[in-house]
Structure 1
Amino acid sequence: MKYRNHTTILEFLLLGLTDDSALQPLFFSLFLSMYLVTILGNLLIILAIYSDSHLHTPMNFFLSNLSFNDICLSTTTVPKMLVNIQSQDQSIYYTGCLSLVSFVLVFTILENFLLAGMAFDLYVAICHPLRYTVIMNPLLYVSLLQSSLLISTMDAFLHTLLGLRLSFCTDLEIPHFFCELAEVIELACSDTLINNILVFVAACVFAGFPFSGIIFSYIHIVSSVLRMPSSEGKHKAFSTCGSHLSVVFLFYGTGFVVYISSAVTDSPRKTAVASVMYSVVTQMLNPLQPEEQGHEGDLEEAHW
């Protein structure tokens, strides 16, 4: 098959979730509503934490950054889809597509690290309550955030650089509502072995390690909670972990569904629909709410 160099590529076509024009107004209204709820809900969490000094705890530090990250991730994907539906124009410039890929990678990887950081905070609060303030000091959790952001940015930059070396055929249709890295690589006519290896390694490292850390934390949390003498203490501990666990299951569960669906189905559109869950719905349904008191005090009391 004859292909042309990527420097001649002007734009891709984002096919979205459906070709049915009758469903486009419904999708526009639905995703606009979800986007507004995501923005307003997460902004309220950030403002509540920022305005109340009692909420300046490590957990709420991670929570506020998670909320800001959710806003950024939704803003990266949803507005372009809304513009495409409204204008009936599915095109996106080549440079814009690569930029979108980069931002999606940064915010998705950062989401993994933030969820792992929150799990570590819960682990320290429940398993080592007397040492909580010593371990979870500002230097530690600020350094964790900075290093996570640096790693996420470097990984996205590397994927983008490797994407620039690809050449594409005349078929430039992406069966998705945003420029997803795997879909862009699949359209390339040049050798994509290095790109696919990097995607696999990055997924194992930047999703596998944080998820393993979350599992490790919760194994110790459950073990510690079961040793608590009072049922009230157990209830407090599990209720504190419940909202975080719901986000973890939704984010990783839907991501796993996307991976499985892409492996077993020959319909990219079905994969795109499944990816709505981790790229849009998770950010909207973030159930974590700042509390009036730090959870470390309640959990220390629960131990006794």
Structure 2
Amino acid sequence: MRLIIAEKPSVALDIAHTLGQTQKHEGYVTVGSDTITWAYGHLVTLASPEQYDPTWKTWAWATLPMLPDRFQLTAIPKTQAHLKIVIGLMKQADRIVNACDSDREGESIFRLIHSLSGVKKPVDRLWLSENTPSAIRKALASMKPAKDYDDLAKAALARAQADWLVGLNATRAFSLRHGQPGQPLSVGRVQTPTLKIIVDRDREIGTFKPTPYWQLAVKFQAPAGDYTGIWQGPEKEHAARIPSKAQADGLAQKLPPGTPGKISRLEKKTVSIKPPFFFSVNDPHLSRWPEVGACEETFAT
């Protein structure tokens, strides 16, 4: 039996329907000799502090920092029944396919289940970026050994362990120092720096002081007809901005209405208006847009 483990039930069913006629069972479906199940996202996680040491259950300075000698895995209680089904299928399978999402987190979800199960059987990686039947068939025909993705799995595990070490220790430390009883202060490896970016930006907006500037529009006369031009300075950024009213008035005196002008260059071209395809990270032709219409633009300087 070949067992295919997807990250979500919807993906599992897409794969199953691509393989053929499905038969439903409790927690999985079968198509011929293939069995397809799913993970509901995370089924396995790193153990909580009290599972390493009962004294770590108490939030106290004496227990910090909490540094496990070796990280342990544990089943997530609310999905424990389904995890039992998945592990049971893994023990029955001749070959296992990791069909979780094609990213670091998807790799982590499968590897944690596989590690907790203790099953030692060949594993292939099904790398899917879209769930259309043609993409699924192509991915099934080009699977690679799971070991080819070991570095991705190591990166995922390092991220999870860093989240545990930083998040649990820092949250307890900040809560003990600055929090109120029953109101912990959540600190995390990602959320806290991200929150700082938002706070810094909000402060920038709050302390922003607008800087006034002036622009000069001059009506020129030319043989082909009058036109209005906007004064441009030498600066590459905001070239049309004049920093003071006095400078704007001085330029206006040098360029009164009716100043003779000369059109040195005239560009006229037809460009196509091209709507994009529906987004697909797996589409190699994503940058090729069909031409469905055209418009005419004229540029004069």
Same fold (TM over 0.5): no
Larger strand fraction of residues = 2
Greater share of residues in helix: 1
Larger Rg computed on CA atoms: 2
Bigger relative CO (Cα 8 Å, ≥ 6 apart): 1
Q: TM-score, normalised by structure 1?
A: 0.27
